[in-house]
Amino acid sequence: MRIVFMGTPDFAAECLKAVYNHPAAEIVGVLTQPDTQKGRGMKFIPSPVKVFATEHDLPVYQPETLKNGAFAEELKTLDPELIFVAAYGKILPSYVLEYPKYGCINAHGSLLPLYRGASPIQRAIMDGHTRTGITAMYMADGIDTGDMLLKGECDILPEDDFGTLHDKLAAIAGDLLCQVIDKALDGTLEACRCPQNDAEATHAPKILKEDTVLDFSRPACELCCLIRGLSPAPLAMTKTPDGKLLKVACAKVVQDAGHSAAPGTVLSLDDGILVACGNGSALRLNAVVPEGKKRMDAADYIRGRKLNVGDLLAY
């Protein structure tokens, strides 16, 4: 099976690894986003997908655009029977979607039609769901609207954050793509095809800065889900009384805290930073990232910073 793989971040790299290890897969080309400049030295950093492809001698392409037939000649030369897409980061034009015999198939990080869009894994946690999964789907002109093929589910455990759930779902995605190869080869892939019910669709828009702000008037359980969904990056945030940014990497709910304090008030500095939230609940901040610093335990932050009981945390 001649396969072109398209993807960019760690999630896609895990999918590529699974496909690479499939005995029937011949990966004839890997498309990924151009290298990005990062750090103080503004060095060009390759994507995780490029790193894996290079280490395994797979041909890498990094087109600035696919529009207006920009990749048409290369695609014809590669002549894939199947194209896999996982978090590539570009919209595929029709000449790409329509080229391969077995179609362009995407590994999407939700149980479609739930959470169509850019941040399905984060949003599922942020919204308090306890179960999610991966959908292998045909790509179409809309955003994650194509017909579904296969699904794999997993629980969202109370201790899961975006990082841990991401890794579990990446493994499921890789397995589903390998199943797609098997079904394409034995002629049963088309029988798996199932249209989405648009009436049941929900959306997972890109995470914006305003999505990361901790509003302590909300119940602690909601804020805990927000923190988990944004950890390890980009992280939920608030500000200390001196105006310094304080990001929160890990927190636990304290129900029935028995306080009447204003939301955001620091109730205690014993065993973490206990903060008053809505409905009489409280949130214990266990790990934080102070402005300009690295992640640290709340206890270390408390020892080295001026934060007192009665202080107000508010963005």
Q: What tens digit of pLDDT does each residue of 143-174 get? A: 899 999 999 999 999 999 999 999 999 999 99
Do 193 and 213 lie in one domain? The reply is no
Structural domain boundaries, residue 17: 2-204
* Cβ count near 156 (within 10 Å): 23
Do 228 and 115 lie in one domain? The reply is no
Q: Is 312 part of any domain?
A: no
User: What pLDDT does residue 42 have?
Assistant: 78
Dihedral of the alpha carbons of 239, 240, 243, 245, in degrees to the nearest 10: -40
Domain stops at, among 183, 204, 225: 204
115-to-52, 107, 123, 202, 314 alpha-carbon distances in Å:
28, 13, 8, 5, 30
Which of 83-87, 167-171, 223-227, 258-262 is the least confident region? Answer: 258-262
pLDDT at 305 over 90: no
- The CATH number of whichever domain residue 38 belongs to comes to 3.40.50.170
Do 78 and 162 lie in one domain? The reply is yes
User: What pLDDT does residue 130 have?
Assistant: 98
What confidence tens digit (pLDDT) does each residue in 195-252 have?
A: 999 999 999 999 999 999 999 999 999 999 999 999 999 999 999 999 999 999 999 9
* Cβ count near 271 (within 10 Å): 12
The mean of the pLDDT values for the chain is 96
Q: Is 310 part of any domain?
A: no
Note the pTM of the prediction, 2 decimals. 0.94
Going by pLDDT thresholds of 50, 70 and 90, the confidence category of residue 304 is confident
* Cβ count near 209 (within 10 Å): 8
